[in-house]
Amino acid sequence: MKVLGIDPGMATTGWGLVRQVSPQKYETLRYGCLLTQARVPMSERLQSIAKQLRDIVRTEQPDVAAIEELFFAKNSQTAASVGHARGVLLFVLAELGLPVFEYNPRQVKIALTGFGAADKSQMQRMVQRLLGLKEVPKPDDAADALAIALCHINTRQEQK
């Protein structure tokens, strides 16, 4: 099963494609970020996010997508912006017929580290370790997307 993990954002949306090779072995297929420019109108940025995601899904042909749920306690403007991007991402995934699973940050942290309050560096090191990478994936948004993909794989195993 190829899982496309997505960490939504307006300026930077992280994505990562992971495949489970055996019960405790994973393979990183590709990862990166969908980028938009700040000075471009929001409608054009959303179109760009949609186009970039369609290209990735059509090229990589994942079996499912896992996306992070929104969680913002402080900045409502950022939450609204990310919400717009997330809506476009969910729309495109549905349009392309991909099953979509959603996870909140705490679920991702528990699935990878066993600790729901793990910090960013703990999460990144765990992603690096689980995927057998020489370095922590960069940028952070891509590492987060890989973590979401791993969360889905681990969560689906627990529910079997």
Catalytic residue among 102, 140, 141, 144: 141
Asked about 95 being catalytic, the answer comes back as no
Nearest CA among 54, 67, 51 for reference residue 16: 67
Asked about 141 being catalytic, the answer comes back as yes
Residue 98: φ, ψ to 5°: -85, 135
Asked about 7 being catalytic, the answer comes back as yes
DSSP for residue 142: H
Contact indicator for 69, 34 with CB cutoff of 8 Å: no
The CB density around residue 21, as the number of other CB atoms within 10 Å, is: 9
Catalytic residue among 68, 69, 102, 144: 68
Q: Which residues are catalytic?
A: 7, 68, 141
